[in-house]
Amino acid sequence: MLADRLRRSLLERSLQQGFVVPELMAVMALLVIVAMLAAPAFNEWLLRDRVDGFTRNLLNTFTFARNEALRLGARVDVCRDDGAAHCAKSTQPCGPSDAARADNWACGWLVVTEAQRDAGASSVRLLRLYSGSHALAATGVATALTFTPPAGQILGSFRTFEISPITSPSGVGRARLTRCIRLAIAGRPRLTEGPCGASR
């Protein structure tokens, strides 16, 4: 009986005291080490997610534009955004000032079509507007892409768009975070991982 009371008393006292300073410091040190090890992987995951989201939007845009050319029986253009919801000129650069390029789609893009008016004149009608991401580079063509009826083909030749982060976490190769969209003359887009120059 006395032994039980003594054991209970010691247990209550140890529960009331909680952790001591050396134990707390050891736990804090372990948490810091785990955080330092996990941070690069977390940053890589966030960057990969941003690249993949941007790539999906661009891929879906090409599919949408092709389908709209078929549905409307009209020419549908996909062009870079000039920042004011108009098609950018082929010489207008996009991106950070030190690395701005005229073939960068990272500033966003538009899907437009020509709407016919009664008098025979036409006006440009905005179908969709997509915002970009200045943390990424999306190099492709400087000019607009045109999807034509009746089959939704694109004017011109085979096109590629390479999406990659401008900066990547240390120890992570840019190739692992790069995506490529290949657009055939038939207007169908295809997505691959890695740079567009890599053999597939």
The domain locations on the chain are 43-193
Buried b (16+ CB within 10 A) or exposed e, 169-182: beebeeeebbbbbb
Tell me how far apart the terminal alpha carbons of the chain are, to the nearest angstrom: 79
Q: Which residues of the chain have pLDDT under 70?
A: 1-4, 6-7, 9-19, 98-99, 115-122, 168-172, 198-200
Q: What are 10-30's pLDDT values in tens digits?
A: 556 555 556 677 777 888 888
What was the pLDDT predicted at 155?
81
What was the pLDDT predicted at 1?
63
The model's pTM: 0.75
Question: 43-193: CATH homologous superfamily?
Answer: minor pseudopilin epsh domain (3.55.40.10)
Give the span between the Cα atoms of 57 and 42, in whole angstroms: 23
What was the pLDDT predicted at 162?
94
What was the pLDDT predicted at 12?
65
What was the pLDDT predicted at 3?
61
Reported as half-sphere exposure (CB side, CA atoms, 13 A), residue 38 has a value of 6
